[in-house]
Amino acid sequence: MTTDLPKPTYAHNMRLLGFSDLAGHIDTVQVMVQRGHAYVGNIFTGGFSIADVSDPRAPRPVAFIAAPPNTMCLHLQAHDDLLLVVHGRDGFSAASAAYDPAKTAGRNWSAGMAIYDISQPAAPRQIGFLPVAGIGLHRIWYVGGRYAYASAMLDGFSGHIMIVVDLADPAKPELVGKFWLPGMAAGETPHWPLPDGNYSLHHPIIHGDTAYCSWRDGGLVVVDVADRSAPKLVTHRWWAPPFGGGTHNALPLPDRNLLIVVDEPGADNQEDGAKLVWVFDNRERANPISIATMPQPHDHDYVAVGGRFGPHNVHENRPGSFVSSETIFATYSNAGVRAYDIRDPFRPQEIGALVPPAPTRFYDPRPNRPHVLQSNDVFVDRNGIFYTTGFSDGLFIGEFTG
Amino acid sequence: MAARVIKPESASNFEFVGQTANGSHPDGGQVMVSRGHAYVANSFTGGVTVTDATNPRDPRPVNHLPVHPRSWSIHLQTHGNLMLVVEEFNFYAVYVKEEDYYGGSIEGVSSAKFGVRGKDYSAGMRVYDISDPANPRPIGFMEVEGLGLHRIWWDGGRYAYASALLDGFSDHMLIVIDLKEPTKPELVGKWWIPGMWLAGGEKPSWPGRVAFHHGLVAGDVLYGCWRDGGLTILDIKDKRAPKLIVHRNWYPPFGGGTHSALPLVDRNLLLVADEAVRDIDQEPLKYTWVFDIRELANPVSIATLPTPADQDYYAKGGHFGPHNLWENRSEGFRSSDLVFATYQNAGLRAFDIRNPFQPREVGYFVPPPPEQWVDHRPGMHHVIHTCDVYVEKNGLMYITDYNAGLYIIQWKGH
């Protein structure tokens, strides 16, 4: 089996252990691993996949749960017996009806959040659904407890906003709170610095009563959610322009009062500028200060490799997984997976890299996509085994040896 | 007398050239160099010392320009045939502890509190003709209604920009000085952070001490530092009415003391140094920041210069942290890739910022302990406190210290 393992393009302090093409569902985005099973959101093939990864050297696809027609389930959250999965319009499918915020009739996709019981890890059973009116949900944050938080594109808003979902009864999820930036709701006048910018919540990460929201071209938005039904703005920082926007994750490291913020590339070959992973000092919640960035991979000329070159996700320190405020794992699109030592937060160092090979089969339906690795997400378990995805890259499993 | 040779405590990429205690004035604040002469502001002994450094291995003090005994003249600027020197009530005459001076603005500050201006202290800016470099000749004085000036930015041209403590204001603010007629300098513009004009009914709303330290000008833009008030970027197209473009403050969480902003406009970068104003066991470590200023209205901090670590400067004691940056003056060395900074008990440091996201230290010169001690403030740690640096085009540089005299050293790096 291991003899079939593809050879990485580059590795440093990291070793490739296993690979699965997930029975053909190689279009992989968010990945969660729990109880020896990987839950993987698919972006193009309409659903999500489950693989038995109890032997990381021999991952085995065990299920594919199809989404309703014209619906994407690219992001999901697994915690204990619950799996929350986004439903949103599949913008890549020609069969999807056009989105017209004024017309609800004729919408041929599912919009909302599906809730599964995964007490049988390989056999999820849907127990609830939160419908929303609009394009749907993009990404969720849920690590147990009563509330889930998500980005949702709802009728009446110009982009994704934050919603708070009450899961007191997981069979009857309820939307209890909303937060958006002034200018996003119908009737409000926006004053965005980039007229063509995308001012839209990618997703929030919650610590205590604070939601750290990555707002794509809108940067970082810190929101007080002490009152779940009435979230309040604490502060808003944006660095596009001069930087290229695409803010994608904001991960608090509460024990060190730091915040890791990722900007995702929105164009190939760094045509929208070099995107970076930022370190913020977060000692003053209302005055986060950017203090450093992670060094960019320089072991190859990744701009010349083609496709996206830049950070996409960081491992988000979910409880039960690898939790560290000193070692940060990130995906870097065509530069694979990177690990950083941030013990000195002013001078982060790269301490590991794994660049899986370019896909042999290419699934991305978008026109003119270069056939290169495009790493999307990384999940690290408590033993330092990591699981990483990509647009046509299946599921790679690796180990950090640094 | 043979020229002195002094072995540094430690050095890398720098070589000792010369040193002088400047007679009875070993205390150095700001230093300027022109035509082989160094002009050193004396922080504690008062006045300005002129040192002939035409032979840099054997610098000799040749003149001393006194200031009113209850005033200080800790900052000066030279360009061409002119030198501008601040005169201000000497706060250390009344507020001897660092905490009293740096901890907050002086309660109910008013020049009347300290006597009669011109008699009990002098307050303003003195203009000297330095066409005869060893013998500066006072040719003009601009008195201000207040306690005086702190620091000036003037690199030639018609206008100088200074920090001044004027009656009616809580602390130092920006003033613009017209030098069209150098014998009659004229105050033409003012700008302050709203809240500072107490006489106008404004109320300060901040922790710490918000006071303009000084600002550097590039084009029509002034990059100004406000101690605990952070950084302002001002449009100064209209000298009479500077306009705020943006204000950023990182105190708190950081420790304040924002001191100097050095624009590197060819690279759209701005360096900003936060001064260590107390002993290192009395305040958090300060940093020198690198900002991206491609968008003038949205400066973004992207990195800090690495903190010196060749020895344990915490254990050494005294002030450990940034003070001054070499400010790329037009008559001296100019670079947007190489930065020289004084670091108090860690001496002079050189940084390579070709990659502005990951600046690197590329050299240092740490003088040995001072041989005499003239800093009269109580409780000061008797270690070097490297204060200011002037860099000539050939990399010969002049560094001052609160007590250790004037060092001349040579940059040997790339």
* Cβ contacts of A210 within 8 Å, gap of 6 or more: A222, A223, A224, A225, A234, A252, A285
Distance in angstroms (rounded) separating the CA atoms of residues B25 and A375: 64
As a dihedral over the C-alpha atoms of residue B217, residue B222, residue B225, residue B231, rounded to 10 degrees, the angle is: -140
B292 near A276, Cβ under 8 Å?
Answer: no
Nearest C-alpha in A relative to B359 = A347
Q: Supply the pLDDT for residue A2.
A: 44
pLDDT above 90 covers a percentage of chain A that reads 97
Question: What is the pLDDT, as a whole number, of residue B2?
Answer: 63
Q: With helix as H, strand as E and coil as C, how does B338-371 read?
A: EEEEECECCCEEEEECCCCCCCEEEEEEECCCCC
pLDDT digits (tens, 9 = 90+) for A97-117: 999 999 999 999 999 999 999
- Å from A279 to nearest chain B CA? 9
Of A193, A257, A293, the CB nearest to B357: A293
pLDDT in tens, B283-336: 999 999 999 999 999 999 999 999 999 999 999 999 999 999 999 999 999 999
Q: The tokens 């003195």 sit on which residue?
A: B126
Dihedral of the alpha carbons of A285, A290, A294, A295, in degrees to the nearest 10 = 180
B302 CB within 8 Å of a chain A CB: yes
- Give the pLDDT confidence of A73-104 residue by residue, as tens digits: 999 999 999 999 999 999 999 999 999 999 99
Q: Which residues of B141-163 are buried (b: 16+ CB within 10 A; e: fewer)?
A: bbebebbbbbbbbbbeeebbbbb
- Interchain CB distance below 8 Å, A243 and B292: yes
- Report CB contact under 8 Å: B302, A293: yes
B294 CB within 8 Å of a chain A CB: yes
Q: How many Å lie between the alpha carbon of A289 and the closest alpha carbon of chain B?
A: 7
According to the model, what pLDDT value does residue A363 have? Answer: 87
Return the residue of B nearest to A219 by Cα.
Answer: B300
With beta carbons under 8 A apart, name residues in chain B contacting A287.
Answer: 249-250, 252-253
Sign of CA dihedral A237, A238, A243, A245: positive
DSSP secondary structure string, A290-337? EEEEPPPP-SS-HHHH-S-BS---B----TTS---SSEEEEE-BTT-E
pLDDT of residue B100: 83
pLDDT in tens, A247-268: 999 999 999 999 999 999 999 9
pLDDT at A383 over 50: yes
Rounded to an integer, the average pLDDT of A187-203 is: 96
pLDDT exceeds 70 at position A3:
no
Asked whether the beta carbons of residue A290 and residue B292 sit closer than 8 angstroms, the reply is no
Which residues of chain B are under the pLDDT cut of 70? 1-2, 108
Query: Mean pLDDT over all residues of chain A?
Result: 97
User: Is the Cβ–Cβ distance between A297 and A353 less than 8 Å?
Assistant: yes
Determine contact, residues B39/B83, Cβ cutoff 8 Å. Answer: yes
Chain-centroid distance of CA B269 in Å reads 20
The reported pLDDT for the residue numbered B112 is: 86
Cα distance between residue B383 and residue B373, in whole Å: 9
Q: How many CB pairs under 8 A join A and B?
A: 56
Above pLDDT 70, what percent of chain A? 99
Is A340 within 8 Å of chain B by CB? no
Q: What pLDDT, on a 0 to 100 scale, did the predictor assign at position B108?
A: 67
Residue B295 has its nearest CB partner, among A241, A276, A287, at A241
Q: Residues of A numbered 6-65 whose beta carbons fall under 8 angstroms of chain B's beta carbons: which are they?
A: none
Q: Please report the ipTM that was assigned to this predicted complex.
A: 0.96
Which of A242, A287, A289 lies at the smallest CB-CB distance from B295? A242
The pLDDT tens digits of the residues spanning A305-364 come to 999 999 999 999 999 999 999 999 999 999 999 999 999 999 999 999 999 999 999 988
B304 to chain A: which residues are within 8 Å by CB? Answer: 291-292, 346
List CB contacts of B70: < 8 A, sequence separation 6 or more: B89, B90, B93, B114, B115, B120, B121
Are A289 and B254 in contact (CB < 8 Å)?
yes
Position B3 scores a pLDDT of 77
Q: Do A284 and B252 touch (CB under 8 A)?
A: yes
Residue B342's closest CA among B374, B314, B371, B366?
B366
Q: For residues B290 and B353, what is the distance between their CA atoms, to the nearest angstrom? A: 9
The answer to whether residue A68 scores a pLDDT higher than 70 is yes
pLDDT attached to residue B106: 77
CA B111 to mean position of chain CA atoms: 23
Please name every residue paired with A178 in a beta bridge, in sequence order, or none if there are none: A163
Interface-testing mutation among B268, B304, B358, with chain A (most A C-beta atoms within 10 A): B358
Tell whether B91 lies on the interface with A, counting CB pairs under 8 A. Answer: no
Dist CA A84 CA A56 (whole Å): 24
Chain A environment of B272 (Cβ under 8 Å): none
DSSP B25-70: ------EEEETTEEEEE-TTT-SEEEEE-SSTTS-EEEEEE---TT
